[in-house]
Amino acid sequence: MQTETHTGLESPRGTWWKPAHKHEKIWISIAFAWCMVLIAMMPLWHWKGGQNPSGIRGRTTPAAYMERVQEFITQYQVGDDRGIPIVAPPPGADVYLAAFSFQWMPILKLQEGVEYTLHLSSIDVNHGFSLYPINVNFQVVPGYDYGLRVTPNASGDFRIICNEFCGIGHHLMVGRVIVDPAPATASAGGVR
Ligand code: CUA
């Protein structure tokens, strides 16, 4: 009959370990040094990586944000696409985009080469703002208003894809941004 009990606090009996081999020590030293490099990269990238969001952020509530979006739509609406308003704000304007399950509201009509402050917030759960086919990704969080300073540098008809799983309709959550070519470079459109 087995009467012995083992706990994780006591070493098992017998020779169950050997001193680390020289190669293993070298390998651990290399891995440790590389960990230190990666740790140093984190603050370094924060300052030098050029990937921090440009702009402002603040607290909001879903109700207050949606109200601001409605106001923005009323002010600058120029049409609609299957019930979703198309909004063309003037150069330099504050642009408000709302994410909610499972839609982006409204459709934005912007101008190439002009700076806007693009506000992003969610009305319900976390969504992800991803501008296809351009490599722009941003978390859209309820309760926070992120104002990103953006200047479209390519004209075209772009799609906003939700890249944060947000529920049963996540894969249908596609929005639209139309960028009109700048008047002077109307023929030179394209992704830079
Ligand atoms: Cu919204 Cu996924």
The secondary structure of the chain as a DSSP string is: -------TTSPPSS----PPPHHHHHHHHHHHHHHHHHHHHHHHHHHHSS-SPPEEEEE--HHHHHHHHHHHHHHHEEEEETTEEEE-PPTT-EEEEEEETTEEESEEEEETT--EEEEEEESSS-EEEEEETTTEEEEE-BTEEEEEEE---S-EEEEEEE-S--STTGGG-EEEEEEEPPGGGTT--S--
Residue 45: predicted pLDDT: 87
The pLDDT of residue 191 is above 50: no
Residue 1: predicted pLDDT: 63
Q: From ligand 1's centre to the CA of 102, what distance in Å?
A: 6
Q: What residues line ligand 1, using a CB cutoff of 6 Å?
A: 102, 127, 162, 164-166, 170, 173
Q: Whose CA is nearest to atom 1 of ligand 1?
A: 127
Residue 2: predicted pLDDT: 64
Residue 157: predicted pLDDT: 93
Region 108-124: mean pLDDT is 94
The pLDDT of residue 16 is above 90: no
